[in-house]
Amino acid sequence: MKKATLGALIAGAVIGLGISYVTAIMVDKTSTPEFCASCHTMKPMVDSFKFSVHGGNNPQGFAATHCTDCHLPHNSLIGYLIAKGISGTRDALAEFGIIKKVDFKDNFWEMDKYVYDSGCLKCHKGIKKLKDKNVGEVIGLTLNSQKVHKEFYWNKKERGEKVSCVACHNDNTMTHFAHPNLLETLQSE
């Protein structure tokens, strides 16, 4: 191989790695609650999140560190990046008044459009394991939790029924909802 070709390949690899590194940093930094709260529209969601189980208000102190942990799909890297680009562009255009903002109050009960099961299952691996196991075979989940998730999530999915985690885990039914009192917060604005 000629020196010029080898040099071009090495330069291309270095530039490619540099672009990948900068992209990874940008994706990470634009996924944090602090970044999301920089838009007035998202401030109530971030404020509510900080006091939730998912925001670290739990005995273990565990927290989902990025808004995108829940609010973007995690089925594939390409799908994640495309959804992030579309979502970020839409939110920025709405914040600057170029397009209509999402009315989160009116759309509150359509939360399955904003929360992805793949995000839930990324952390709640015991629930994911139930897809291929029988009730009683998953360590770390109570028997009741296994029964409920097998019956009302995985069995419905297998039958082709539309089901989502937030159909049950929402502001009115669960004390460990990711955004406690969000509806009340939005209504008081």
All domains in the chain, ordered by first residue: 3-187 (1.10.3820.10)
- The stretches of 54-189 forming alpha helices (DSSP H) are 68-71, 77-95, 117-123, 125-129, 143-149, 155-158, 165-168, 182-187
**Hey, CA dihedral for 69, 73, 74, 78, is it positive or negative?**
negative
Amino acid at 69: D
Greatest Cα-to-Cα distance within the chain, rounded to the nearest angstrom: 69
The predicted model scores a pTM of 0.79
**Alpha-carbon dihedral 91, 26, 36, 168, rounded to 10 degrees:** 90
Annotated binding site: 36, 39, 42, 67, 70-71, 84, 91, 165, 168-169
Q: How would you write the pLDDT of the chain (189 residues) with one tens digit per residue?
A: 688 888 889 999 999 999 999 999 999 999 998 998 888 788 888 888 888 888 888 777 788 889 999 999 999 999 999 999 999 999 999 999 999 988 888 888 888 888 999 998 988 888 888 888 888 888 777 888 888 999 999 999 999 999 999 888 876 666 567 777 787 777 777
Annotated binding site for a menaquinol: 67, 84, 91
Annotated binding site for heme: 36, 39, 42, 70-71, 91, 165, 168-169
